[in-house]
Each structure stands twice: as structure tokens, then as C-alpha cells.
Amino acid sequence: MSTLLLTDPRLLAHDPGLEHPESPSRLASILRALEPLPAGAILQRAVREASPAQLRRVHSAAYVDEVLGQRGRAGAIDEETRLSDGSVEAALLAAGACVALVEALLEGRAKNGFALVRPPGHHATSSRGMGYCVFNNVAIAAAHALACGAGRVLIVDWDVHHGNGTQAIFERRDDVLFFSVHQDRLYPDSGGGDEVGAGPGAGYTRNVPLPAGAGDDEMKLAFERELAPLAAWFRPDLVLVSAGFDAHVDDPMAAQRVTTEGFAALCATVCSIAEPTAGGRVALVLEGGYDLASLGASVRACVELLCRSAGREH
């Protein structure tokens, strides 16, 4: 089976402004790094926007209406989350790409895949955008999977920043397990080990904050000792990854030391975890990563790994 990559040139129209880290060059650098495409990868360069109903599964109606009301206009959600006249369309397309990828995996049209999208999403809560994020792409994908019949969805967040929005959206649910490994005491200053979910979702949130300077070995241990046993207990039908690459040793946004090979190893672990109960169905969703060279190289390394996993007979 194939690895499906989804993107759209209209995603480049989200332009937060000169010197803003979340620039269109991020996606452009990834697409350059993927030339030529790894064997087994299919790149789809046009996606449909997510519908308001799909957005409202995880966002409040008031917030969805607020964002849609800014379509075609420059503005800002907050000081960091700035909008150009193409940003709302890009945010709708980013969410729509994640919905389309989930459908392809659940319908058996691809084994795994990567939504190469921006703006990122994992900081967006149900009622506000923040941290460069407008809509919570991975949460929208998870909610769509559940609506399509998946019983349990595992979300793995390896971005260097804690996915506070994703955690908050699902913290009271037991059909979504949220696992985050991130740099401790970094924006948005959440994700402590004592945050484990609430009500019916108690025990379905697991945070592993790592100290500054942590690298491949520490990330590997977190996945082996914390994530793998959790996944074996939870038995997901689908695994989603908030795939940020700002923990890379060359990235300027934090102080972690993960290598390109280290990210490929994390991707391999996730694919292995997904095999027994999810049939290898893994969808990566792009989050952060701000050093262009390491971002492109790390995404390519993960895509190559996904292609190898998709090509194996089990």
C-alpha cells in the first residue's frame, strides 16, 4: 500500500508577516526536500476545505464564526497568531487535508500518510487560537475519525512545545488518548506530569516533559517506557501524530537535541505501535519546525520511513 502526502499551494498564502517564524518558506522547504518523491509516496497537491460542521466538533460555534468572519482580511487572533488575507482559507484547507487523510486511511486507500499543512494547530483550544495556531488540525482529524466509526484514537505529540489545545479538547474523554513529550517549562507553560485528564478521561492524558538538552536517547526512552505500554493497553484503531520538528538540535526555538535520524526513529516506533490494533494506520500532521534545512530533512526522513512501513507485508 501507499503513503499519502496531502498539501495545497494555497497553504502558502498564509503569511503572518516579515520575520515571523511561521513563514510560507517552511512548507516550501519541505516540498523541495521531497523532490524526488520517495518510492511508495503519492503527493496530492489539492485538498478541500474543512466544513464548519467538522470544525465545530472540536471548536465552539462562536470561535468558528469569529474566524470565518475574518476570511479574506488581514488581522490577528493574538499577538503571535497573525492573519493575512489568505490565512483563513489556508487554515480551512489545513484542517480539510487532515480530514481527507483520515478518510483515506480508514477506507483503506493508503496505509499511512502525512498532512503537510500550515498554519499549525495543536495550541488552538476549543474557543481560541494561539501560538501560531488557528484551528486544531489534529483534534479535527481525531474527531472526524471517531465520527467515521473509529472507536479509539491515539494522538502522539512530539513537538517541542506542549499541545495544550489538543489536551484541553479531549481531557474529559476516554476514546482519545493524548500523549505528549516536550521540553519542560517552555511555551505555553503546561504539560506537567500531573496533568492526566479529568472525569471520564482521567488516565487518558500522559505528559512527559523533558529537560533542556534532551535528545535522541531521552526521546527514545520516553516512547519505549511510556508510550508503548500505554498504546498496548489502549489498543487504538488509528494513530495521529502532531509532528513538530522544533526539538531538532539545529532549531532556534528551543533547546533540545533531537537529530534527523532521531525523528525517523520516533516515526518507526509509532508505526510499530500502530500495527497490532490499528493495522499500521498512522497519520502525521505537521506542527512546528523553524530551521528550514533540518525541517525539510526530518520530514523527508519520516516520509521515507512511512513508505518503508507501508511497503512491508505483515
Q: Which amino acid is at 142?
A: A
Compute φ and ψ for 111, nearest 5 degrees: -85, -40
DSSP-derived 3-state class of residue 5? strand
Compute φ and ψ for 282, nearest 5 degrees: -130, 130
Name beta bridge partners: 157.
180, 242
Q: Cα separation of 163 and 141, whole Å?
A: 15
Residue 233: exposure state from Cβ atoms within 10 A (0-12, 13-18, ≥19): exposed
Residue 243: exposure state from Cβ atoms within 10 A (0-12, 13-18, ≥19): buried
144 is catalytic: no
Residue 85: exposure state from Cβ atoms within 10 A (0-12, 13-18, ≥19): middle
Q: Which of 123, 144, 162, 182 is catalytic?
A: 123
Catalytic residue positions, numbered: 123
